Structure 1
């Protein structure tokens, strides 16, 4: 049963987020399905609740620009548009700081993060009281229409999240504009509640994804992604493992590996999703340190989030 919380019950919503539960909340654009961005299992639960078919990066929400820029490297362009348009319907994609504690699954294993400061006063107060970055895509089942009221959220996700904080109808009604400032060329990844012309008035020309760079991958929700691939070659469907290989285990681990990262000993695909990107990074670093020759990945069933896990493993194993 999903709780429907009034504005006066905001502290309850903040406590649920801190505890790793999913809470939908209003922004000026659409309602977001929020999770503690530092809690990999909570973030994985977002994908499961939405039936999201792949691990697209999620936008992390903050109460102010200082909190957002503590997690990412902000250049002059980022600070200019933030000063002009935050709080507001603008998401910035920026390089992740080395010391960021946002879980790798939130950023889909990339070296960038998508960050935003929403304008809705209830959202900002929720973020202040929660005290953690909140990862939040739109609060609807994947492929369905984005919700702009608490009733819309409940119609699609009843029973799949702990609570929805009812802040009334959203005022903008379309998702935030996503601007990639992780490279020298400012690129519009997704049109939204803020126009390209408004951005160009602040920082000059803004390219549009797809118009330049051919099939260049972009780190934004809803776009073709280049996900983290380790330096060591990845062998899929491993039923055995060699001493010169690291093992990405699912279920009881195979014996004999040079290093082991357990996705989920119990065979839980949500737990496995939460641990996937961190595991690939750790095995890559540990394997290089030990002089191992590759990573053997045990099979993960194609059910629930297992579909997305296998998609990412296939990308990691693709020829480079």
Structure 2
């Protein structure tokens, strides 16, 4: 961005929320760590989160919300999910739930899956921001990918100064480790240990949690290659369209029925990726065709785009 990131004080929450409304990136304190927030409905803003972090793959992001009522706009809550929300929200617990069809969330937030991870944080500053914004905020940790998670404003600035628009100062984070993530289906599985102990969760449920090492337990969303595979076969790095193919272009692409970004903008392509794959799969399925995707340079978010495309193109044996 070429300029220093603006730091907002706690009483400037209105100005901080405006950063999110305008499609900008805002770091903010939660009780766990500082998150790097973007409007979860704005695919371009979400793509900018990945770009700022240098995140190598499009893993699903946790969506932060002001309260349970707001959360229910975006996911389907079972009685079991409501029981967990009543016990641990607001707090450092994230739940992976079926996404509502009319949620309006960017497919980049869900990584193209039919589920979404939601959390209602307990930090007073985060709750004030979320109430002021009155919408879903996608927020991974506010640090370069692979770095140590930030628990103070200085930590955020050390990694992201000039790469994001603002930081809402909220002091030091009290918990200091990321939220616990649960997959809530007919049963509850632990996807990531974190700020709420397994013992406390099991006490509320009255049963033991399935663990990630159990063969029957799904891995964390975003880790299974098959989750990204369309029904139709996919060919990467297509420099032309073959017989019986639906071509997804990047930049000026002759014969492309769909285009990730006509101008060759990787951020725009990232924002469109999962939607375009779904649309191409619908077209291909109806016509008995396969999918081809034009080359996307291995730079910036192009690395993450190619990571997802390689999973989609993998041999399903």
Which residue in 1 is equivalent to 2:191?
189
Which residue in 1 is equivalent to 2:252?
252
| Aligned residues of 2:249 and 2:259 also touching (Cα < 8 A) | yes
Counterpart mapping for 1:68-83 below 5 A: 68-83=71-86
Provide closer, same or farther for how the CA distance between residues 141 and 85 of structure 1 changes in structure 2, counting only shifts above 3 A: same
SS in 2 for 1:32: strand
Q: Displacement, 1:244?
A: 3.0
Q: Displacement, 1:265?
A: 1.4
Which residue in 2 is equivalent to 1:113?
116
Which residue in 2 is equivalent to 1:6?
9
Misfit runs of 4+, over 3 Å:
223-227
Q: Displacement, 1:225?
A: 5.9
Q: Displacement, 1:288?
A: 2.6
| Alignment partners' CA distance in 2, 1:65 and 1:146 | 26
| Aligned residues of 2:226 and 2:312 also touching (Cα < 8 A) | no
SS in 2 for 1:267: coil
Which residue in 1 is equivalent to 2:265?
268
Which residue in 1 is equivalent to 2:136?
133
Which residue in 2 is equivalent to 1:234?
234
Q: Displacement, 1:224?
A: 5.3
Which residue in 2 is equivalent to 1:279?
276
| Alignment partners' CA distance in 2, 1:135 and 1:287 | 31
| Alignment partners' CA distance in 2, 1:227 and 1:20 | 28
TM-score when scaled to structure 2? 0.95
SS in 1 for 2:70: helix
| Alignment partners' CA distance in 1, 2:54 and 2:227 | 20
| Alignment partners' CA distance in 2, 1:136 and 1:117 | 12
| Aligned residues of 2:47 and 2:267 also touching (Cα < 8 A) | yes
Which residue in 2 is equivalent to 1:305?
301
| Aligned residues of 1:217 and 1:226 also touching (Cα < 8 A) | no
- The CA deviation string for residues 110-138 of structure 1, in whole angstroms up to 9 with x for no partner, is 11100000001111111111122000000
Counterpart mapping for 1:2-81 below 5 A: 2-81=5-84
How big is the alpha-carbon RMSD for the aligned residues of Structure 1 and Structure 2? 1.4
Provide closer, same or farther for how the CA distance between residues 213 and 30 of structure 1 changes in structure 2, counting only shifts above 3 A: same
- The CA deviation string for residues 43-96 of structure 1, in whole angstroms up to 9 with x for no partner, is 111111111111111000000011112211111110001011100000000111
Segments of 5+ residues of structure 1 without an aligned counterpart are none
| Aligned residues of 2:190 and 2:211 also touching (Cα < 8 A) | yes
TM-score when scaled to structure 1? 0.94
Which residue in 1 is equivalent to 2:214?
211
Q: Displacement, 1:292?
A: 4.1
Provide closer, same or farther for how the CA distance between residues 2 and 226 of structure 1 changes in structure 2, counting only shifts above 3 A: farther
SS in 1 for 2:109: coil
Q: Displacement, 1:271?
A: 1.1
Counterpart mapping for 1:146-225 below 5 A: 146-181=149-184, 183-203=185-205, 204-213=207-216, 216-219=218-221
| Alignment partners' CA distance in 2, 1:151 and 1:301 | 34
SS in 1 for 2:117: strand
| Aligned residues of 2:77 and 2:97 also touching (Cα < 8 A) | yes
SS in 2 for 1:303: coil
Segments of 5+ residues of structure 2 without an aligned counterpart are none
